[in-house]
A and B are shown apart, each in its own frame.
Chain A
Amino acid sequence: MDSFHIADLFGSIAQIWNEWLGGFLATEWVNIVNKAVGALLVTAVPVVIVVFTILGERKIIGRFQDRLGPNRVGPFGIFQTIPDVVKLLTKEIITPAHVDKLLYNIAPLLSVSSVILIWAVMPFAKNIIGVDLDVGALYFVAVSSFGTLAILLAGWSSNNKYALVAAFRVVAQLVSYEVPMVLALLVPVMLAGTLKMNGIVEAQAGEVWYVVLAPVSMLIFFISSTAEVGRSPFDLLEADSEIVAGYNIEYSGMKFAMFFLGEWIHAFTICGLTATLFLGGWHGPFVDQVPLLGPIYFLIKMFVVYFIHIWIRTTMPRIRIDHLLDLNWKFLVPLSLVNLIVMMFVIKLVGDSVAKTSVLLISNVLMFVGTFMILGEVGRQARQREESMRQAEPVTAGVQG
């Protein structure tokens, strides 16, 4: 056995494990056992992280709102999630009458499994990844797209008018925001030249992080992935004050907990994806000599992005459904198309010259400036129209206003 390096902790553990298994199993069986253990770990990691994330989010939201979060159970309330889980486990699972039993029960399963399947391609370190699929970026888009189907089935099979209406609205939102998300995702793929997630991270290790080279894409991806998950300010999915609990009105107990769990896991999964695609994933200083730093950097970046999500959640009010869809189809989609075309030309024309970073950065800044100018123009025209309408009918404006 080679010496055990603490700097390469996971590599050494893997080596010891493989040698122990190879002692009494043939090689193909070792492979299969490794794959099963890998799948188990990939399932367990998001579930473990979500336990801390739920608590962390509640405490941080509490601080934003000038109060303490949960602080009864355990020191600083760190064990709060456990009583929550126990409570949900022991609630009665009420299945309403006249639901379509097969679809009603399948929907939470599909919803959770579609999120967990994304973690198979999340790169934690150079050698720690579930499987480095050669269509990694496309795989995660495809898998999250069948989560929307689960919501539709849930809403329909609940035999409830509110659930059905809510499910339609949710699917319209989720499906619309996939377009700018993928169009913004294409820019790091273009810069890296591969769809493999680890390949994208390694390409960023070679040059500068893509947040510097493509900030417009990062912003578009950030906004549309927030809407994909259904977090505030886009949380019409479960607007408690508007449509009760949305598509999961008729779910109780553990089935509701599954939807809930799926949504929380999805929330920090896209933070992990943003960190991988734009912030350099597991790359950081000294990560070659000390590979253990890889997952640590990745988790730090993921939680930084997650903190920004929480910040936005507690600060901004909810957006109305028609504003939501207008924002997508009339602003984000044209912006992402323009971004894609501009980046295509600029990257190809600049090539690999020394000025690459600055040229890309300048072109992105110009896109920002152009966008703000157009938005300012549109806003000014809307205000002028309103002014002229108000001046044309001074009497009735008071009556109607």
Chain B
Amino acid sequence: MLSDYELIGILAIFALALPILAIVGGSILGPRKPNRIKTDVYECGMESYGPTWVQFKVQYYIFALVFLVFDIEMVLLFPFAAAFKILPLYAVIEAAIFILILAAALVYAWKKQALEWF
């Protein structure tokens, strides 16, 4: 079991080395002449003024929150799906209750208009 992950460890090293090599190669081969205009912030050709701070819409946070709840639900359903073949019928009913309670959570979010973008 543990030896499976050796390949993943080595692969992680190679997978990080590939972009590093590519970027190093790019910085060697490319010209390097920074000037003030090139390194300025991009704002469709205008000078940027004001700090880089955007009015953060709380909707982004709400979507991440709803996703988190469903993420944990998914994680708890994975072992159930893996053991599904040998589980008897009442296990299916238990899992159905689990899913229905979380569907109720989704319906709550929907009714309270938390899933609108605007």
Give the interface of A toward B (CB within 8 A): 32, 35-36, 38-40, 42-43, 47, 88-98, 105, 108-109, 112-113, 116-117, 120, 130-134, 137-138, 159-162, 164-165, 168-169, 171-172, 175-176, 178-179, 182-183, 186, 189-190, 193-195, 244, 249-250, 253-255, 257-258, 321-322, 325-326, 329-330, 333-334, 337, 340-341, 344-345, 347-349
Contacts and interface: CB of A to CB of B under 8 A. Distances in A.
Nearest to A116: B15
Nearest to B44: A244
A193 B84 contact: yes
Given A117-B15, A322-B118, A337 B38 contact: no
A326 B115 contact: yes
A287 to B, nearest CB: 24
Given A43-B15, A159-B41, A131 B67 contact: no
Contacts of B27: 93, 253-254
Interface in B91-113: 92, 95-96, 99-100, 102-103, 106, 109-110
A175 B64 contact: yes
A185 to B, nearest CB: 9
Interface in B7-55: 7-8, 10-16, 18-20, 22-23, 25-27, 29-34, 38-44, 48, 52, 54
B14 A39 contact: yes
12 contacts: A42-B7, A90-B29, A96-B40, A97-B40, A109-B19, A131-B8, A175-B64, A257-B26, A322-B116, A330-B110, A333-B70, A344-B96
Interface residues of B, number: 72
Given A190-B85, A254-B27, 6 more contacts: A40-B14, A161-B43, A176-B67, A179-B71, A193-B85, A254-B25
A172 B32 contact: no
Contact of A337 (B6, B71, B103): B103
Contacts of A130: 7, 11
A69 B28 CA distance: 32
Tell me whether chain A's interface is mostly helix, strand or loop, or mixed: helix
Contacts of A92: 30-33
A253 B7 contact: no
A39 B14 CA distance: 7
Interface of B: 1, 4-8, 10-16, 18-20, 22-23, 25-27, 29-34, 38-44, 48, 52, 54, 56-57, 59-60, 63-64, 66-67, 70-71, 74, 77-78, 81-87, 89, 92, 95-96, 99-100, 102-103, 106, 109-110, 115-118
Nearest to A189: B81
Contact of B1 (A42, A134, A345, A348): A134
A233 to B, nearest CB: 17
A285 B108 CA distance: 49
A344 B95 contact: yes
A325 B23 contact: no
B106 to A, nearest CB: 6
A108 B96 contact: no
B104 to A, nearest CB: 11
B99 A337 contact: yes
B54 A164 contact: yes
A113 B15 contact: yes
Given A38-B7, A39-B7, A165-B54, A89 B30 contact: yes
A88 B96 CA distance: 52
Given A116-B18, A179-B74, A189-B81, A172 B60 contact: yes
A88 to B, nearest CB: 7
Contacts of A253: 26-27, 30
Contacts of A329: 66, 106, 109-110, 115
A89 B54 CA distance: 33
Given A164-B54, A325-B117, A120 B11 contact: yes
Contacts of B89: 348-349
Given A94-B39, A189-B82, A258-B22, A333 B29 contact: no
